[in-house]
Amino acid sequence: MASRFDVRRQTGFTTIAMICFFALYLPIVTLVVYAFNSGNSIAVWEGVSLRWFYQAWNNSQVVDAAIRSLQIALVAATIATIVATMAALATTRTKPYPGLGFKYAFINQPLMVPEIVTAVALLIFFSRIKIWTGYSGLGYLMAAHTAFCIPFAYLPIRARLESMDLSLETAAADLYATPWKAFRRVTFPLLWPGILAGLMLAFVISLDDVVITEFVKSGGQDTLPTYMLGQFRRFITPEINAISTVFLLISILIVTVFFFISRKKDHE
Amino acid sequence: MASAEQVAEEAERREIRDRWLLSAPALIIIFLAATGPLLIVVIYSFLTPGPYGGVVWKFSTDGWLSVLMQRDIFDDTLAFADAHLSIFWRSAKLSFLTTILTLLFGFPTAYFIATRPARQRDIWLFLITIPFWTNLLIRTFAIQEVIRNEGLVNTVLIKLGIISQPIQMMFTDFALMVGMTYVYLPLMVLPLYASMEKIDFRLVEAGYDLYANRFQVLRRVIIPLVKPGIIAGSILVFIPALGAYVTPRVLGGSKNMMLGSLIELQFGQGRNWPLGSALSLSLMAIVMVALLFYVRSVGRRDGAHG
């Protein structure tokens, strides 16, 4: 008997898909492998060593940039998640009211404008404020990062809220809970996977940003990505591979947690 | 005494007010550090460039004029600014080709994932999600290591004896296209998958019952069903590709400029902030047109089925 006819099959699709997965991972794997090269080259393999990881660890520029990246990402992601949670509470589970559409558009605005345009706009705006106030600290980068992190934090929180029933909060209010108490005791325990997902997403987005940071930063304010971008102009050693590998590991870790939190919700 | 209706109305008004207060911090931050500064760019595009960067507060349309035209420094006549136009053209062309390439590779990949058994799907999807959230700079650097002269491709080809001299790929339009296709592929696969996940395969079966061959089923049944995903994916790839800054800077070198680098140049060595502002707004205008096209085509679809 002939094998069952598979209606889903399309000739060649599986092959192309396999090529895609291979092509997606080959460069990343190459990058990671050469981070362990003992030679000076990112092209000629000379043996396994951890010297480039040591070198990066002892490079004060790299460490400073990494700390700065983490500081900015922590502040930006935390503030963005708090205000995005509030905004999500204000824009879900309601009948349409005047200004609701405007809020959606406004909150998602940073996603719709090309990054380079926002970067230029912030360069112009902040350079003026720097002259007026004389302040040139990390605050500008934190403010810029917070703004573009808000939509990323907002989306998973809103998605989670929309799948939640209002009746529990109504019950809490009937039992004379204040709105804050109802939020803390009822809404938050149900909402936290969404909030955590939003926080992590915002954190990764802030950590990854190159373009806006490159335009907004003052002298000596390199983050890890802008430091790496600067290095590409010079002779590249596997040190960059080593930094990338660590960076990659952190991202993968966060994304893995995020992926399983958001998937779990779907299967519940 | 207040009637029940008035009480209800009052409660509703209070709720709307509370909802505005609750969303105010997010709206204010975005206004201060994203939307507001965009309005300042509009003002700057109509000013006169300062001698060392910055602007002089004197109205001028030269910024906008020089997006398309070039004033001859000797006799003050106007001519088309070939350099700018060719950069606009190159950016549009490369972004379009990138969109097509990601679609050609992404469509079968998304289809492959969508037709796996439910348990396997998560794993394949996860494999697409990881590069999606990996730093763009790192991915660009990774693809550079593959296509550079001493890179993986050339080394392997030389070892196999197929070529004797490395093929120069870096700093060409080809490198840019490969690089952008590589970094933006997940942006195409994810929305495509989202719409393929919902395909009702009984429709495909019906197609075969009516003696359609595989290609006809693909063209007449599957592609029309996933059209929203195709449009969403294309928009998600085309827009960032058009304004790409990192990938052209790392892979393209200084000769093959794209819009992003041209804009940066005006704020760096070029010292022409009004022109840079006008160029940024032109880029934004193109993006807005693309988004409008997207909203309209999705809206029409919803209308037809609703």
Distance from CA of A23 to the nearest CA of B (A): 8
B113-131 per-position pLDDT tens digit: 999 998 899 899 999 988 8
Q: How confident is the model at residue B2 (pLDDT cuts 50, 70, 90)?
A: low
The pLDDT of residue A244: 94
DSSP string, B25-70: HHHHHHIIIIIHHHHHHHHHTTSEEPBTBSEES---SHHHHHHHEE
A5 touches chain B (CB under 8 A): yes
- What are residue A58's phi and psi, to 5 degrees? -95, 0
A111 touches chain B (CB under 8 A): no
Q: Check B22 against A86: CB less than 8 A apart.
A: yes
Token pair listed for A214? 């490159």
Q: How far apart are CA A122 and CA A129, in angstroms?
A: 10
Q: How far apart are CA B306 and CA B299, in angstroms?
A: 10
Higher pLDDT pick, B81 / A257: A257
- Going from N- to C-terminal start, the domains of chain A cover 59-267
**B182: chain A residues, CB-CB within 8 Å:** 23-24, 27
Q: How confident is the model at residue B22 (pLDDT cuts 50, 70, 90)?
A: very high
| A240-248 mean pLDDT | 93
Q: Which amino acid makes up residue B168?
A: Q
Distance from CA of A204 to the nearest CA of B (A): 8
Q: How confident is the model at residue B296 (pLDDT cuts 50, 70, 90)?
A: confident
Question: What percent of chain B stands above pLDDT 90?
Answer: 44
pLDDT value at B306 more than 80 = no
Q: Check B138 against A244: CB less than 8 A apart.
A: yes
Q: How far apart are CA B274 and CA A226, in angstroms?
A: 26
Residue from the list B111, B141, B273 with its beta carbon closest to the beta carbon of A13: B111
The pLDDT of residue A133: 93
Residues in chain A: 268
pLDDT value at B106 more than 80 = yes
Q: How confident is the model at residue B299 (pLDDT cuts 50, 70, 90)?
A: low
A263 touches chain B (CB under 8 A): yes
Q: How confident is the model at residue A168 (pLDDT cuts 50, 70, 90)?
A: confident
A7-47 per-position pLDDT tens digit: 888 888 999 999 999 999 999 999 999 999 988 877 778 88
pLDDT value at B62 more than 90 = no
Question: What percent of chain B stands above pLDDT 70?
Answer: 92
Q: Check A255 against B130: CB less than 8 A apart.
A: yes
A22 touches chain B (CB under 8 A): no
Number of CB pairs, chain A paired with chain B, less than 8 A apart? 257
Q: Check B141 against A31: CB less than 8 A apart.
A: yes
Report the CATH number of the A59-267 domain.
1.10.3720.10
* Nearest Cα residue to A43 out of B153, B246, B247, B173: B153
B contact test, residue of A69, A113, A116 with most B CBs within 10 A:
A116
Decide if B228 contacts B301 (C-beta within 8 A): yes
Distance from CA of B75 to the nearest CA of A (A): 33
The pLDDT of residue B139: 94
Go through the domains of chain B in sequence order and give each one's CATH number. 4-79 (no CATH), 82-305 (1.10.3720.10)
pLDDT value at A79 more than 50 = yes
What is the CB-side half-sphere exposure of residue A62 using CA atoms within 13 A? 18
B134-179 per-position pLDDT tens digit: 889 999 999 988 888 888 888 888 888 888 888 888 888 899 999 9
